[in-house]
Amino acid sequence: MEHITFLVAVVIITALAFDFTNGFHDTANAMATSIATGALRPKVAVAIAAVLNFGGAFLSVKVATTISGGIVNEKAGIHPEVIFAALAGAILWNLLTWLKGLPSSSSHALYGGLIGATVVGVGMNGVNFSVVVSKILIPAVAAPLVAGAAAWGATKLAYLITRGGTDTTTKGFKRGQVFSSSLISLAHGTNDAQKTMGIITLTLVSAHALPKGALPPLWVIVSAGAAIALGTYMGGWRIIRSMGKGLADIKAPQGFASETAAATAILTSTHMGYGLSTTQVCSGSIMGAGLGGPQGTLRWSLVRRMVYTWGLTLPAAATVSGIAAFVASQGDWGVPLVGAALVIGSGSMWLASRRQPVSADNVNDVTPVEVEVTPTPANPTPTTTAVAA
């Protein structure tokens, strides 16, 4: 019993560590465009996002129940070792994509980790694949498209209404962005903080500390909200740079349109209990706003990298977590070995990030990279040009 109690404590701490990475990984969802347009100063933006993420954690538990009793079958005998392996894969993927500045889905990393670890540790009957399809895969495809289309239309409307607008008009949109970006932060708390609540609740159910079908206790809600808020306050500046300056040159009307569309999509999905990827929704809305602007342009090299990463996230996290679950089940040495790999891998990526640090001071600097341009009849020799990283 002491071993189980200690292991449950380790899993809960690891779940909160994932929640922390989720926070700084996803700060960009709410604040990237507001920081890029100058509507909010970087440090003020992340402070607002942190407070509202914490508050949003108390507004609903529907997404938490989708994870704790929806994706996996509680009756299949899920063990804390399986959940620990799932979290290890999700954290490592989060840190890898953060290091590369890619706005991937923390949610799908968690889902993939949970699915892969459960299949290896329990069997195929441990996963409710109908729930995975209806509440994860279908929204993963539909939500960014819907948010992108809504942001495109809202951007077109904003420029149509304010044709020939003045500096006063721009300032008005920037003030609107303070509200719309804050709404996304609140929505993010209602959706993403709940995912860690669901994981901790599932751990307590697996250890028979809670009955099957139980809702998250208050201390779980508070700790999950605090962890994601602290992570949010850390900034996640690499991904803020990619989303705010890397995808498109976003102006204030576009920023307001994209944030409003994204917040609407996230709050709607939370109400319906969908475990939505807020990253995909916000990225889709930024792309829609970029295409709806006067220039109608996107930096397609980053778009392609980002979409590839979206497709890889769930299977990659599932594979890593599946391997971790296999190792963790090999005896008393299995879980410590997985823990050591998690610490070493996380530390290595943090050290690598220090070589080219991104902070509040340089978050709006666009880093040029060299890409090859396709030869044309007028220019038969391939050349290179700089685009935003």
Q: Which two tokens stand for residue 286?
A: 């930024």
Q: 181, 45 in Cβ contact below 8 A?
A: yes
Query: Strand pairing partners for 370?
Result: 386
Q: Which two tokens stand for residue 292?
A: 């709806």
Phi-psi region of 227 (alpha: psi -120 to 50; beta: other; left: phi over 0): alpha
Q: How far lies 191's CA from each of 52, 222, 275, 380, in Å?
A: 12, 14, 7, 51
Please give the Cα distance from 263 to 59 (Å, whole number).
15
Residue 166 has a pLDDT of: 62
Which pLDDT tens digit goes with each residue over 22-53? 888 877 777 888 888 888 888 898 899 899 98
- For residues 13-30, give the mean pLDDT: 86
Q: 272, 279 in Cβ contact below 8 A?
A: no
Number of domains in the chain: 1
In the chain, which residue ranges form alpha helices assigned H by DSSP?
2-37, 42-56, 62-66, 80-99, 106-121, 129-132, 138-161, 167-206, 218-234, 237-241, 252-272, 278-292, 300-328, 334-353
Where in the sequence is the domain holding 111, given as residue range(s)?
2-388
Out of 28-32, 248-252, 258-262, 332-336, least confident range: 28-32
Higher pLDDT: 205 or 10? It is 10
Which pLDDT tens digit goes with each residue over 373-389? 334 444 444 443 344 33
Please give the Cα distance from 113 to 108 (Å, whole number).
8
Q: 56, 193 in Cβ contact below 8 A?
A: yes
Which pLDDT tens digit goes with each residue over 138-175? 888 888 898 899 999 999 988 888 875 666 677 888 88
Number of H helices, E strands in the chain: 14, 2
Q: 118, 255 in Cβ contact below 8 A?
A: no
Residue 343 has a pLDDT of: 95
The 8-class DSSP code of residue 274 comes to: -
Please give the Cα distance from 367 to 306 (Å, whole number).
17
- Residue 179: count other Cβ atoms within 10 Å of its Cβ: 13
Q: How confident is the model at residue 62 (pLDDT cuts 50, 70, 90)?
A: low
User: How much is the pTM?
Assistant: 0.80
Which pLDDT tens digit goes with each residue over 291-338? 998 888 888 888 888 888 888 999 999 999 999 999 998 888 889 999
